[in-house]
A and B are shown apart, each in its own frame.
Chain A
Amino acid sequence: MSASGIRPGPRGRAVVTGLGVIAPTGIGAARHWESVLAGKSGLGRITRFDPTRYPARIAGEVPGFRAAEQIPGRLIPQTDRFTHFALAAAEAALADATADPARLPEYEMAVVTASSSGGTEFGQHEMENLYQQGSSWVGAYQSIAWFYAATTGQVSIRHGMRGPCGVIACEQAGGLDALGQSRRLLDTGSRLVLSGGTDASLCPYGLVAQLSSGQLSTEDDPARAYLPFDAAASGFVPGEGGAMLVVESAASARDRGVRPYGELLGYAAGFDPATGPRPDGTRHAVLASVIRRALADASLAPGDVDVVFADAAGVPAEDLAEARAITEVFGPGGVPVTAPKTLTGRMYAGGAALDVATALLALTAGVVPHTAGLARPADGCAIDLVLHHPRRTGPRTALVLARGHGGFTSALLVGAGDRRDPEK
């Protein structure tokens, strides 16, 4: 055994047996999937505060989320909305997997979440207390609600998971990195990992901080605000929510008699240290290399991949780089590419985790969902974008891509399982 617990021999199989979704497209995996197939957008004018004074006013908010109906009442004032989402999604994922943590070995279960900006709204409230009223007005829960580890800690406590829990913050790429980490844990003695990510930074300070990235769309029409790979792309729309997944060793799932949605086949992460466009036009090179490494990790060839769920930045230069990377690996138009996240906006720590859930639902249903709302692909994007309506092509393998602010670049391959009944 190695220092980090890697055993000799091949890596064990990692399967996904449960999905918990809280998204602008709906609460629950089934409702989310219906919205995806119908191309029903969750984007709209921000309602959580009055956005009139800000240049970006459109977002993907989770409709009708009432924490009191989803999580224990005592936890509501102790935690931020991003943790509310994760507690609810974790509960749903465990139920979907018919997993009862009380009946599984405590040290062989873990929680690994992605966090992008922590308890943003909670933190703004407490800073307001501090600056308006003084240090003694800062509440006792600030110390456990604001920090990036709040969600993992609370989910671990709630379900008695005492294994090697973790928190990974790689901005929008974090969801894939958390799932990649869950696979490592299965390789080092864990049997079940609750993994994924959620985000809820739609408070004034959160939005204003996002504005400074210069990448938010200032378009006021929700149908025009987030159009990745489109000639009219003008930035992206932020979203809230995310997904938690039950990732389990194939042996554990079999022991429990649970049919998986699918399998985590391969994963790779890399980094692009360049800021802005590269003069030599190689902006796509790191992403292409990460895709190749993920394929190698899965022992798959490009021709084995049936659909790519794109990162879909919505920023023209970034879209072009992604299209080039996909084209370089798969050939021009060599693989269907889709971005159902046009319905939710980019959800930071929650985005990539939701994309993986969507990909697994697509494999389960045998359908490639379309990218709703796009009209005219941008020049130079030589990819086979799935537009207008879903394709019933029976995909078996999906590649999910994610890039995070600053250069994070990750890729995850998922394969179809034998489950046919997406519930919840």
Chain B
Amino acid sequence: MTRPQRRAVITGVGAVAPGGHGREAYWDLLTAGRTATRRISLFDATGFRSQVAAECDFDPLAAGLTPQEVRRMDRAGQFAVVAAREAVEDSGIDLPAADPARVGVSIGSAVGCTMGLEEEYAVLSDGGRTWLVDHSYGVPHLYGYMVPSTLAVEVARLAGAQGPVALISTGCTSGLDAIGHGVQLIEEGSADVVLAGATDAPLSPITSACFDAIKATTPNNDDPRHASRPFDGRRDGFVLGEGSAVMVIEEAESARRRGATVYAEILGFAGRSNAFHMTGLKPDGREMAEAIRVALDRAALDPGDIDYINAHGSGTKQNDRHETAAFKRSLGPRAHEVPVSSIKSMIGHSLGAIGSLEIAACALALRHQVVPPTANLAVPDPECDLDYVPVTAREHRMERVLSVGSGFGGFQTAMVLGRPADVRPKPRPARRAARRPARKEAA
């Protein structure tokens, strides 16, 4: 039995990001090179080592949620539902008319409903005074906060999905991995439509404190606007962020049949683990390079086919060096030819959510043919010697882009997106000639 070759395309994008409301405002921020980092306002960060963050100015009622939804959902859930609604609307898909068993959901989150979980803990423990917390103060949705799967449940209910639904939680690669999982559900035939993305709302004392404890976040509290400095010689840790992006991913043929406008096709995806250290990275970038190599192989592409790299670029000393090495190791000379940028310079690092926001940025970059910049990049680092598109966005011809993620637990993920096939020029003949028959056999 030969399985038919199915492909997955992005037909709708929704975003809740720092610095504005929705997808268009998000793209405006990125292309303007504006930073949304500031002093933390969501809680009193006095006494914390890092007191800056990229916060969403998010009013759930104004964003269309009902008072009951606001009460039931943690902030991360509110983000995801609002982003999912925008994505569905953008795609023009008529979900109620779809076969519910063919609709799936794949949402990523690194820390789930941690904000609700912590707020409730503070009450039930009476400010940490009692180990035997008092259940009589528990809200009815407390269990929903304890299990991150709630986030996928909320999006699945919105979509009326009866197909496969999953919450993917691989730390800071959750977003890329959740989208990859959605792609796999479509390719293997388990679903025709998947709402895929990620969400995180980690701006609460416990999450800030745990990153303080390992000095992963920046102590640069005096200049919040310029605190996130990926690839810059002065970088001193990441800036926590929050947000969500959700995409409508569809099987390419059914998207074409209904006349959907396609942002991008997911051409290749691969994950590897470094099995080295929960938080440390070896400088050589070996496993990330392997993930990139495999993603390119699955996409049947060469390094020369990549026109832009959306970097993980967290702004920690070790990450940016590790990642630069991984690009050189996997792409060879091409690493020095393509623009590379980190949007975390503008919207911070929203843990599991950031991968979905980065894929949303890649989809928008392919549509508009503009590379978002790396803000705050002024002082070169000899170990980071690629073209990081400092400060200013750049018009650039792109057919295929690469996005990567790296996270606690050793996860390394790479994803390659391409412009929709109908607007993409024919690829270089030599390479394609060698690969084409294999694809045809598969179909």
CB distance from B422 to the nearest CB of A (A): 18
With A157-B275, A210-B143 given, is the CB distance from A272 to B213 under 8 Å? no
CB distance from A3 to the nearest CB of B (A): 5
Which residues of chain A in 143-167 are interfacial with respect to chain B, using CB atoms and an 8 Å cutoff?
A: 143-144, 146-150, 152-154, 156-157, 159-167
Residues 131-167 of chain B, each 1 if its beta carbon lies under 8 Å from chain A, else 0? 1111100111111111111101100110011111111
| Cβ-defined partner of A6 (8 Å) among B47, B128, B187, B213 | B187
Asked whether any CB of chain B lies closer than 8 Å to the CB of A380, the reply is: no
* Alpha-carbon distance between A150 and B216 when the two chains are bound, in angstroms: 17
Residues 168-181 of chain A, each 1 if its beta carbon lies under 8 Å from chain B, else 0? 11110010010000
For B148, B184, B273, the residue with the greatest tally of chain A CB atoms inside 10 Å of its CB is B273
Interface hit among B262-270, B365-373, B395-403: B262-270
Kindly list chain A residues whose C-beta atoms are within 8 Å of the C-beta of B111.
147
Kindly list chain B residues whose C-beta atoms are within 8 Å of the C-beta of A408.
149, 153, 165
| Cβ-defined partner of B3 (8 Å) among A9, A153, A205, A289 | A9
Asked whether any CB of chain B lies closer than 8 Å to the CB of A73, the reply is: no
For B127, B128, B409, the residue with the greatest tally of chain A CB atoms inside 10 Å of its CB is B409
Kindly list chain A residues whose C-beta atoms are within 8 Å of the C-beta of B268.
3
Asked whether any CB of chain A lies closer than 8 Å to the CB of B171, the reply is: yes
With A143-B214, A149-B409 given, is the CB distance from A128 to B209 under 8 Å? no
Interface hit among B16-24, B296-304, B331-339: B296-304
Do residues A135 and B275 form an inter-chain contact, with CB atoms below 8 A? no
Asked whether any CB of chain A lies closer than 8 Å to the CB of B410, the reply is: yes
Do residues B138 and A170 form an inter-chain contact, with CB atoms below 8 A? no
Kindly list chain B residues whose C-beta atoms are within 8 Å of the C-beta of A143.
210-211, 213-214, 216, 279, 408
Do residues A148 and B438 form an inter-chain contact, with CB atoms below 8 A? no
CB distance from A11 to the nearest CB of B (A): 8
Residues 116-130 of chain A, each 1 if its beta carbon lies under 8 Å from chain B, else 0? 111010011011111
Do residues B8 and A3 form an inter-chain contact, with CB atoms below 8 A? yes
Kindly list chain A residues whose C-beta atoms are within 8 Å of the C-beta of B150.
405-406
* Alpha-carbon distance between A111 and B147 when the two chains are bound, in angstroms: 21
Do residues B161 and A273 form an inter-chain contact, with CB atoms below 8 A? yes
CB distance from B135 to the nearest CB of A (A): 4
Dominant secondary structure at the B interface = mixed
For B147, B166, B212, B269, the residue with the greatest tally of chain A CB atoms inside 10 Å of its CB is B147
Kindly list chain B residues whose C-beta atoms are within 8 Å of the C-beta of A144.
278-279, 408-409
Do residues B169 and A53 form an inter-chain contact, with CB atoms below 8 A? no
Kindly list chain B residues whose C-beta atoms are within 8 Å of the C-beta of A286.
162
Do residues B135 and A211 form an inter-chain contact, with CB atoms below 8 A? yes
Do residues B209 and A273 form an inter-chain contact, with CB atoms below 8 A? no
Do residues B212 and A136 form an inter-chain contact, with CB atoms below 8 A? yes
| Cβ-defined partner of A110 (8 Å) among B122, B140, B273, B438 | B273
Residues 54-79 of chain A, each 1 if its beta carbon lies under 8 Å from chain B, else 0? 11000000000000000000000010
Q: What are 5 A-B interface contacts by the 8 Å CB criterion?
A: A149-B171, A170-B165, A211-B135, A269-B165, A271-B162
Interface residues of A (CB under 8 A from B): 1-6, 8-11, 49-50, 53-55, 78, 106-107, 110-111, 115-118, 120, 123-124, 126-132, 134-136, 138-140, 142-144, 146-150, 152-154, 156-157, 159-171, 174, 177, 184, 187-189, 201, 204-206, 208-214, 268-273, 275, 286, 289, 404-408
Given contacts A4-B184, A154-B278, A273-B156, 15 further A-B contacts (CB under 8 A): A2-B187, A2-B298, A6-B3, A8-B442, A116-B149, A127-B206, A143-B210, A143-B214, A143-B216, A147-B171, A156-B273, A162-B290, A166-B170, A204-B131, A405-B153
